[in-house]
Each structure stands twice: as C-alpha cells, then as structure tokens.
Amino acid sequence: MFMKNFLAFVMTVLPIMNLASVEVQTEQYCEAVKMKDKRILISGAGIAGFTLAYWLKQRGFSPTIIERCPYERVGGYKVDVRGTALEVARRMGIYQELLEANVNLVRSKFVSSDHKVFAFDGDILGLSSEGEIEVNRWNLVQILSKKIGEGEIIYGDSIIKIDEKMVYFEKMEPREFDIVIGADGQYSNVRRLAFGEDSKFLRKYGIQFCVFPIPNIFELERCEIVYFDKGKLATAYAIRNHSYACLAFKSEDETLPFGNLKAVFEKQFQGLDWEIPHLISLMQESNDCYFNSIAQVRMPRWSKGRVALIGDAAHSVQGMGTSLAMVGAYILAREIEKSNGDHALAFDKYEKTMKEYVEVAQALAEANQQAFTESSVRMKFQLYLMKILPKKFTQYFIEKRRKQMKEVANGLILEPIPSCRLAAPERLTSRP
C-alpha cells in the first residue's frame, strides 16, 4: 500500500514540482535534436570513414558517405588493430569478429639473396604483440561496412569543390552540408581542396609498393615470407584460403608516374631470381593491385572551417594507420556530439585529444622505417646478423620493438562510456 501511494506521488506530484527543470531539459533536448539534424558528409568509405559513420549513427546523426570507387573498396595486405583501437572495436561490438578474422601469424621466414631461409617464431614484420589483432584489410572493411547498417553511401563519385555552404561533386548535383570530413586516405581529395597541395603535408620515404592477391605458391599457413635483394623487397603471407604478396622498392623519384604502374614494378624487379619472375607474372595478371608509396602526413591542423580530416588523410603512419584511423573517428564523433552544434569546438577538442598520440606514433614509425629500409647494405647486414647470432638474440630485439609499438598504441585512454552507448548486438546490413 505504501509502495502504491509512493508511486502515485512520484508520478503525479513530482512532474509538477519539476516543471521548470523539464522546460530547461526540453530546450536542451531541442538543441540536441537540432544538432542531430546537422548534415555531415564523409569523403571516403575506408577504415576511418566507416568507423566515423558508425559512431555518428550511434550518437543519432545520419551522415552521408561518398566514395570515389564505384564499389566497396576491399583489397590490400594485412593491417593492424592495436592498443586503443581494440577498445574502439570492443565498444563497436566487432571485437569477436575481428578475433575470428585474426591473421595471427605464427612464423616468419626470411630468404637471403642466396636463397637461404631463416625461420623465426611469430610475426616479425607486423610487430604484433599478444592481444593485438592483424586482419586482411578487406576483412576489416567488410566487418565495418556491415556494422554501420542503413545509411546513404554514394559510390563512384567525388567532391570537386567545397564552398561556404555547398559541396559540389563530379557527377551529382551540388548539395548543402554543415560539416565535411575528409576520410579519403593518404592522398586525400578533401585535404587538397581545403588545405592545399599534397607537397605541403606529405613526408615521403621514396618506397613504392604494390599489393595483390596470389595463389598460395609458397605453401604458407599463418606464415609470412620475406625476400630482400638489391634494394627490392618481396613479401607474402597466407591464412586459410587467402594469400597476398607485396613488392616494394626504393626509388629516388618521390612519386611514381601515373600510367602503367605494373610496368614500372616489372622493370624494377627485372633480373632478380628466386620466385620474383613468378610474382611479377601474378601481379601482371591481377586485376586487384593496390599501389601506394610510404609516406607520412604531417599537418599543423586537421581542420579548417567546417572541414576536418581523419585517418590517413590527417596523419598517415605506417604500422599504426588503421588503429589511429579508428581511434580518431571515435573521438571525432564523440566531440561532434558533445559540442552541441559548435563544430569548431568539436574539431579543436578532437585535435587536442589526438595530436600527441599521433605524433609519438609517427616518430616511432619513422625510426622503424629507417631501420628497415635504409639501404641494401644495411638490410644484408641485418640478415647476416640474424644468420650468425643465436635466435634468442634476434628475438630479444624484435620483442623490444614490439613492446615499444604496443606502448605507443596504448598511449591514449578512452573515457568510460555509459553501457547504453555500447554497440547493440543486432546485425545491421549496409547498402551496396
């Protein structure tokens, strides 16, 4: 009886007593609803773009994605989800799926120019530590795109101009957007349009690479093979029914010429033996080659007006690009929501949160980069040391680098999230 009366009191009297505060809440609610009406355009349906779209949707927004490629762009080698990005994946409810897709290399084989093979336990090139996840890039793209569910994704178009109010496209009619996010990779189109030429921001290392799927010609399983000779690198790995190869060379030219990139790679690898001729012919036959060059994007600011950049577009970095893209997307969505319509504030907070984390990762990647690719002589010397030193010694140095990478990847702690914000377990489907 007491309980019944108490409930009646709560339901009738309390709302009257609280009228003033209800009004305030309604105002805030309206502000929040207005904010959720903000039209947000994301350029690029890659790791950063999909992750941002997911988190914006979770926070009640309805972003539009525009992707230059006419279809969902899969392809690529394995990529790492490390450190704080693992927490983002957990909060998205995709951790289990990622675990199932984990490439989890257990062995690495190095082949010297005289074809001697040196085998080591674990993933040496990827520097993956216990608990970190490496997945085929296509796997990650599919997991993310499936997760974002219904929404507007425009394939096969690209932004050509962004002015005060409108966004103009190659094919579509101009549309109004309140916020434009460049998640369109290392050579970001949005960055070029809003901030200027690539040369201002790209720190290039002159290493060109090409990734393509191959049949499992090396009969590998959860293993990566690495061949290095005359300044050229060939690697391949296989997991279950998927195998990929990567060819890389250092070139004095900072950028590859557009046009027939396959021919450029063929010429560069001419005269090398081992399985190189076979790999070259597989590359020539492949219709799924991904060409790129190793570079870092370094910018003083990642936003300008109503435009902001995330992922590789803002801060590409080797070995941690995917993880930083996921974390940055998560933080930006959080700040956009918290800012109550003030996107300048949101962008500012996003940059402040991410900047140091990114800079430390870029510094480490640059150091690792130099250690690995400085010169043929240095690489040969490293292989020679690996050959003559006890394996324990090599493992010790690799372990040290893994530890460093893990520390850096965990360098940003996310604030706790209310459990109602965690990913719902339902499976959502994305539009083709």
In what helix (H) or strand (E) does residue 379 lie, and over which residues does it extend?
helix 376-388
Q: How far is residue 387 from each of residues 111, 359, 382, 393, 394, measured CA to CA in Å?
A: 11, 35, 9, 11, 9
User: Which among 338, 172, 197 is positioned nearest to 255, based on CA atoms?
Assistant: 197
Nearer to ligand FAD, 69 or 360 (CB): 69
Q: Least distance from C-beta 178 to ligand FAD, angstroms? A: 19
The pair of three-digit structure tokens given for residue 234, joined into one six-digit string: 């060939």
- Taken in order 30, 31, 37, 42, the sign of the CA dihedral is negative
Report if residue 315 touches ligand FAD, rule: CB under 6 A: no
Report if residue 280 touches ligand FAD, rule: CB under 6 A: no
> 415, exposed or middle or buried, with CB in 10 Å at 0-12, 13-18, 19+?
exposed
Say if residues 250 and 207 touch (Cβ distance below 8 Å). yes
The pair of three-digit structure tokens given for residue 256, joined into one six-digit string: 């590859």
Stretch that binds ligand FAD, among 74-82, 108-116, 374-382, 400-408 (CB under 6 A): 74-82
Report if residue 211 touches ligand FAD, rule: CB under 6 A: yes
Contact pick of 38, 39, 59, 69 for ligand FAD (by CB under 6 A): 69
Q: Least distance from C-beta 294 to ligand FAD, angstroms? A: 9
Q: Least distance from C-beta 168 to ligand FAD, angstroms? A: 13
Measured N-to-C along each axis, helices 19-36 and 2-17 cross at an angle, to the nearest 10 degrees, of 70
Report if residue 275 touches ligand FAD, rule: CB under 6 A: no
Report if residue 184 touches ligand FAD, rule: CB under 6 A: yes
DSSP for residue 419: G
Report if residue 183 touches ligand FAD, rule: CB under 6 A: yes
Stretch that binds ligand FAD, among 75-83, 111-119, 125-133, 142-150 (CB under 6 A): 75-83
Q: Least distance from C-beta 73 to ligand FAD, angstroms? A: 4
Report if residue 351 touches ligand FAD, rule: CB under 6 A: no
Nearer to ligand FAD, 41 or 386 (CB): 41
Residues from 385 through 404 that contact ligand FAD (CB under 6 A)? none
Distance CA 152, CA 149 (A): 10
Instruction: Name the residues that contact ligand FAD, by CB under 6 A.
Output: 43-49, 66-69, 73, 75-77, 79, 137, 158, 183-185, 189, 211, 290, 311-313, 316, 321-322, 325
